[in-house]
Amino acid sequence: MSSNDRHLAIIGIGLRLPGANNKQEFYNLLHSKRSGISRVPADRWNAETYTGPGKEPAKIVTDLAGFLDEYREFDALDFGVSPNEARELDVHQYMLLQTTLQAFEDAGVKYRGTKTGVFVAGSFEGRSIQSDEYDLSHYTSTGTALSMQPNRVSFIFDLRGPSIFVDTACSGGLSAMHTARNAIFAGDCDQAVVAGISIMLTPQASQGFSKLGTLSPTGCCHAFDAAADGYVRGEGCVVVILKRLDAAMKEGDHVYAVLTGSAVNANGRGLSLTMPDAKMQMDATLQAYKDAGRDPTDAFFVECHGTGTPVGDPIEVNTLGQVFSQNRPKEDILSIGSVKTNVGHLETASGLVGLIKAALILDSGVILPGIHFSTPNPQIHWSDFRIRVQTDPEPIPKWKTTQDGMYVASVSSFGFGGANAHAVLERMPHGGDRFPIMDIDDKDSILIAVGALSARSVGRVVENVCEFLEEATDPRERVVISRVFGDRARGHPFLSYAVIPASGTSQLEQAFSKPAAPLFTSDPFIAFVFSGQGPQYPQMGRRFLYRFKAFRDSVLASDGVLQSIGFGSFIKKYGMFDSYECTLPTGPDASWPVEAVVLSIVIFQIALYDLWKSLNVAASVVLGHSVGEIAAMYASGAINRHKAVHLAVARAKALKMVENSQGGMAALGCDEVQANEMIEKILSGDRDGGGVRGLWISAVNSVKAVSVSGNEDLIVKLVQQAESQGIFARQLRVGGAYHSPLVDICSAAFQKAVLPVLNSSRNVPTTRFISTVHGRLHPKNQPLDTAYCWDNIRKPVLFANAIKALFEEHKEEGNASSLCVIEMAPHPVLQGYIGEIAASVNVQPAVVAACARRPNPKTGQGVNDPVEDTQFLDTVGKLLVAGVRNINLRVLTGLAGYDVPMGHDMLLKKPVSYPFQKTVSKPKNAYTLKVTQNTHPLKIVEHKECPISTYRRTRPPPKPLCAPLFRMSPQTHPWVTGHTISKAVIFPGTGYIEAALEHGARTLRNVRIQRALMLSEHDPPKYVGFRETGINNEWEFCSSSKNVVNDSGVVLDTVHATGQFVMESVHTPQTALEHLGQDFMTDFDLVMDGQRFYSIIAGTGAEYSGVFAMITEIRGSSTREKDFIAFVEVSDELWNTHAKGMVLHPAILDCACQTGWGMSVRFLFPRPKYLGFATDNSTCL
């Protein structure tokens, strides 16, 4: 791979697709060659009403598509959306929220308050234009506007990069990705949410595509197959998180695939607006590979647009063949596929669905197949271009890696308006075992952090993680659980944590802290406070060295510096940190050589800082107490490790000169004023004038805690004096009277040793450094030189003033963040002081915590127990809860450098999902809706929608000819075209009778045609209607001549037929057959076949065809002048389609009426010019 500067990593995936609710289910769907296509749910639209031949207006050629199981579930409370606003939200908005959350949890990145862009390829919510204008609210506009699809994601998750809606139709997903990529390169955002969403709530779009002729009548996408007849629609939401590759690798993110190139263009003035253009598709593909720095022959797989249309597939694949076959070896066959065969065509989201499929192929190392392919499309030049359709799962051939060891694949996506897009992905193959090798013991501590959008949901996450922990039989499983749930928690406002052993199941839930959210939205203000000498003990750092690589590497590096300057190995000399037996004395009265004290503290604190740094935790301010300032200088960036170790050695050597020099120190439980009063009193009685004598305040640790240095005999007197006054006093175990004039004898030696090393370059802090020498913030751009380092030894430690300065620094930032004070020591010694000082100035830090703690023998803790690391992990948990969300918890698990195909959650026994307390957004006044119970009870939240539109979508099919208002034309009722009179399509009179029968009539009287209803094949369908007039059971069938509309709706101003009806059948004394007698057929001796019959009557202008020409034979009688018999053969087409929902199809009744033409077919009777229609009395038996 070339430079990573223009390479982006796909680090998070969220999805809701037909048949798959997460990446694992989607992978399994593809791998097992299953389909997510199903029949349209009843709450979208009624399939019986809307399904029909493609030429019929308002009909859809298929009732099959890729539908989600449930699209209305939304946890409004968790997302902070009120019930009233939730009712107004477009489905696209809340599905984007939930799927984006899934992607963020999968990525495990910090996102709140960051420069994260949102780029959404969305679709239009059909219900918004059907809203009741009298039920609009101040949430309606924001709930339905297209711009709000990305904007609401930005708002809810506090994302501060660009927020852009993209619509290039079917290529929208890849166009959004291309836009996001450029925004990251331009510095507009650091990472991006790229989403595609398409939801089929109403039938209008399907009706349009059906009319366009792009939908498959079979409801199946036969991409690349000879049977290709169009695509099947699909719905869903897909989200990917993009981030710079170098940043992703640095932070240990899982990388599904690397986006190395992309390109977009348009067809321009092509053959037609919707016709694919081979040249422009080729240009987009070539430009994407040029952008990626790859040759198309590097690719082993292309995820095609692949809609399964007879026109589109050959153009696309033959174009790909021209691009990818150039210079491709003969044995190298390019595999192609189309995910539309599995989940349907998601239109605006389709490109991202293909991108995710390609990413999963690269990450898993398995080429995933499509389905519905059996006979190759003969219009595609398969052998010429060495292309094949992937029909079974297959490992990526190892020989298909590029010279730099990468697998390469790409994705095409084309909008039906001519917007083309192509993207190139690559990834290095995975290697090694599926499960990592980890050196972890059953008693080792593990930090489990969990998070959610609300405190109530944190409780459910805790229940969930405890189930995982209880089922884990291997300590390594708990480490993976820690990694997975810790990643998912990083972006959430509410967190809880627990530090638990690597095995055991007792009281797991009780171990978790109370869920809490940070008080501030900005990052916490973190202070690292490095202790002085005193907390050291022989086994310190040993657990850290065993558990944490960063700590171990730092200790070894510092020990290496010591060896390089001739000191030798500190670890081996004293047996500290590692598994060596410590040679230093133990116990409360043990006294260590000064070099052991200084070097152990400095090495430990530098390693502790490096450990925090590896966790991506940076201090806002650092300060150190006495010798702790060496590590603080290192943490501030003023000095490097080499200088810090040199400084520690020089300090140790210098102070060795005053070791055992009759100097001492004492700790007093009083303030500085009281201490000075006691010092003055003792010195006033001291008559020994030899040498340097005195008592000096050496440290002001708190408002009621000071240290005093001086001659040992005077120190003894001071302790006695304080005790006599009821003041706490204790003589300290130190080797000399530090921070006093008694150390002046080593000044020259110290500065001589330090000067050449320290002053070799300017030692200017890059992180704010608060000096305990001066008790204030160190001036900006001023170096920490040799003179300062000597003052650190010689002058008193103004720790209390320094802590107050720390509080002032936090205050100057407006107190807009939580204050977290972390004591960097082997054991806490400064926490109490910090708490006292904070109370004295009315400051309440969010966290004051120690990084480590020594084992307490009184509680049964041994030197090998995980006390030290447990304390550290607990402090990490406290910081997380306080709002430090950039902590890289992966380092703590030891899995930072270990990658797993499709992410570490794939190592778990079951998928992890967010525990939404799901509610269902229910359309207001919906016709029929049933809610299925979930794990948690579902609460119905009504979604506002015009009840009229809901009814129309979901109602049962209306009666074909009997409705107060419906549309009619040769397209909506194609059977009428067979009833043509004088070249005009005329609605048959028998149709009016059928309308009345559908209304429930059983007897009709006085049926009269008032005006012919002419239907044009070229004009829009007419508005017509059947209605009762309210007088004597009269009815009329009307139409609207000019489509006039008033407040009541469409005005039906033209009456075509009238009549009366009775809801019961009327008994007739004798049927026609009974009137004819038993042997009537012998009387009908005049015979004519149907073909001749219809050709003769066509001369009158009555051109019958289709279902209106079903008479196969007509007979007259030479003896019965008024009687005729017709034989009718009813077509299957009539029974299967046209007669659906009818009582008696008008064509059947019309054929009966056509026998009246018998007098005109050369049966020796006069020929009328036309056949009239009227009935005085007819009944349905």
Q: Is residue 919 pLDDT above 80, yes or no?
A: no
**Same domain as 293, residue 382:** yes
Q: Is residue 905 pLDDT above 50, yes or no?
A: yes
**Same domain as 77, residue 134:** yes
Torsion of CA 745, 747, 750, 755, to 10 degrees: -160
User: Which pLDDT band, with edges at 50, 70 and 90, does 1069 fall under?
Assistant: low
Predicted local distance difference test score (pLDDT) of residue 177: 98
**Same domain as 323, residue 243:** yes
Burial class of residue 699, CB neighbours in 10 A (0-12, 13-18, 19+) = buried
Query: How much is the mean pLDDT over the chain?
Result: 88
Higher pLDDT, 663 or 1176: 663
pLDDT, mean of residues 51-59: 82
**Same domain as 668, residue 619:** no
Report the phi/psi class of residue 988: left, alpha or beta, with left for phi > 0 and alpha for psi in -120 to 50. Answer: beta
Q: Is residue 147 pLDDT above 80, yes or no?
A: yes
465 domain-assigned: no
Q: How many residues would you count in the chain? A: 1181
Predicted local distance difference test score (pLDDT) of residue 841: 93
Q: Is residue 815 pLDDT above 80, yes or no?
A: no
845 domain-assigned: yes
Q: How far is CA 46 from the centre of its chain?
A: 32
Q: Is residue 339 pLDDT above 80, yes or no?
A: yes
**Same domain as 116, residue 26:** yes
Would you say 759 and 639 are in contact if contact means Cβ atoms under 8 Å apart?
Answer: no
**Same domain as 722, residue 818:** no
1019 domain-assigned: yes
* Domain containing residue 711: 664-737
Tens of pLDDT, residue by residue over 560-593, are 999 999 999 999 999 999 877 888 888 767 788 9
Task: Count structural domains, the chain.
Answer: 5
Q: Is residue 928 pLDDT above 50, yes or no?
A: no
Q: Is residue 720 pLDDT above 60, yes or no?
A: yes
What percentage of residues in the chain have a pLDDT greater than 70?
91
What percentage of residues in the chain have a pLDDT greater than 90?
64
Residue 951 makes CB contacts below 8 A (sequence gap 6+) with 927
Predicted local distance difference test score (pLDDT) of residue 299: 97
Q: Is residue 715 pLDDT above 90, yes or no?
A: yes
Tens of pLDDT, residue by residue over 1008-1027, are 999 999 999 888 899 999 99
Predicted local distance difference test score (pLDDT) of residue 659: 80
Tens of pLDDT, residue by residue over 242-295, are 999 999 998 889 999 999 999 999 999 988 898 888 999 999 999 999 999 999
Tell me, yes or no, if 254 is annotated catalytic. no
Q: Is residue 442 pLDDT above 60, yes or no?
A: yes
Higher pLDDT, 1071 or 732: 732
**Same domain as 395, residue 251:** yes
CATH number at residue 685: 3.30.70.250
pTM of the model: 0.86
110 domain-assigned: yes
Q: Is residue 733 pLDDT above 90, yes or no?
A: no
Q: Where are the beta strands (DSSP E) in 1084-1138?
A: 1086-1089, 1102-1104, 1111-1116, 1125-1128
Domain boundary pick from 708, 737, 766 = 737
Tell me, yes or no, if 865 is annotated catalytic. no
User: Which pLDDT band, with edges at 50, 70 and 90, does 931 fall under?
Assistant: very low
pLDDT, mean of residues 1113-1129: 85
Predicted local distance difference test score (pLDDT) of residue 750: 94
pLDDT, mean of residues 447-467: 93
901 domain-assigned: no
CA distances for 762 relative to 622, 639, 648, 772, 1094, angstroms: 19, 9, 18, 20, 110
Least confident segment among 206-210, 698-702, 803-807: 206-210
User: Which pLDDT band, with edges at 50, 70 and 90, does 515 fall under?
Assistant: confident
Q: Is residue 1171 pLDDT above 70, yes or no?
A: no
Predicted local distance difference test score (pLDDT) of residue 434: 59
**Same domain as 1005, residue 1152:** no
**Same domain as 299, residue 405:** yes
Predicted local distance difference test score (pLDDT) of residue 940: 40
pLDDT, mean of residues 481-504: 90
Higher pLDDT, 497 or 816: 497
Least confident segment among 113-122, 682-691, 1102-1111: 682-691
Least confident segment among 58-72, 181-195, 667-681, 1066-1080: 1066-1080
576 domain-assigned: yes
CATH number at residue 1145: 3.10.129.110
Domain boundary pick from 719, 737, 755 = 737
CA distances for 1124 relative to 360, 445, 1128, 1163, angstroms: 74, 100, 13, 10
Tens of pLDDT, residue by residue over 548-564, are 999 999 999 999 999 99
Q: Is residue 611 pLDDT above 90, yes or no?
A: yes
**Same domain as 251, residue 340:** yes
How far is it, in rounded angstroms, from Cα 97 to Cα 80?
A: 11
Q: Is residue 929 pLDDT above 60, yes or no?
A: no
Burial class of residue 418, CB neighbours in 10 A (0-12, 13-18, 19+) = buried
**Same domain as 1099, residue 1017:** no
Least confident segment among 408-422, 930-944, 973-987: 930-944
**Same domain as 222, residue 188:** yes
Would you say 559 and 553 are in contact if contact means Cβ atoms under 8 Å apart?
Answer: no
Predicted local distance difference test score (pLDDT) of residue 248: 93
CATH number at residue 553: 3.40.366.10
Predicted local distance difference test score (pLDDT) of residue 1176: 67
349 domain-assigned: yes
User: Which pLDDT band, with edges at 50, 70 and 90, does 688 fall under?
Assistant: low
Tens of pLDDT, residue by residue over 1022-1045, are 999 999 988 888 999 999 988 888
Domain boundary pick from 687, 720, 737 = 737
Predicted local distance difference test score (pLDDT) of residue 432: 58
Predicted local distance difference test score (pLDDT) of residue 1081: 81
pLDDT, mean of residues 680-698: 82
Residue 844 makes CB contacts below 8 A (sequence gap 6+) with 838
Q: Choosing from 92, 979, 999, 1138, which is the catalytic residue?
A: 979
1124 domain-assigned: yes
Higher pLDDT, 730 or 815: 730
> DSSP state, 564?
H
